[in-house]
Amino acid sequence: MTVQTAGRRVVTNIALSLDGRYARPDNPLDMGWVMPYAVTDVARDHLTSLWEPATTALLGRVNAEGFLGFWPTVIGAEDADPRDEGFAKWLVDTDKVVLSTTLDEAPWERTTLVDKPTAEAVADLKATEGGDILVLSSASVIKALLAADMVDRLALTVFPVFLGGGPRLFDDGLPEGRWELISQSAGDHGTLALVYDRVR
């Protein structure tokens, strides 16, 4: 039995409500429910531990537009937390792969657009040299990788709110499998950071 897989790890990170949702039912792009918790020490340290060993960011188009529209503005911002600034610099400087069927060209530096099924795109990335492949909050990408049993490390921040509806991360019909809890921390406002490795 082994936890670690050979080659590059696929690491996914997403925030969940206590009732298992990653977005509000009425407005999926409204992340206001995340903000009080995302700026806690435990959430910032959690994200730092994920991006530091990663050399590729993998995003869906919607998340790419959100992340790459916001995070570069943090660099050099007055009173920016050093961990936020570190992540922002990493995101700008690292290789990015954006899965999209609609974009013709990427408006961001160091970005490759890929119009392929998620599992195929990730298999191609895993065949290359580099560090972790970090999937940043792109639920459609994470769901496809879970369905294909291609996630090596599953990182979650769980926030103590019920959204009462909205899309769930874990759909019925996922492949059976065991996971090992390798890291857990609790912080301000009841934020819980969990990291699981797939046991293969």
- Provide the mean pLDDT of the chain: 93
Reported pTM: 0.93
Q: What is the CATH number of domain 10-199?
A: 3.40.430.10
Region 55-76: mean pLDDT is 93
The SS3 of residue 23 is: coil
The SS3 of residue 173 is: coil
Residue among 119, 112, 130 at smallest CA distance from 8: 130
Kindly report, residue by residue over 104-139, the tens digit of the pLDDT.
898 899 999 999 999 999 999 999 999 999 999 999
Domain extents in the chain? 10-199
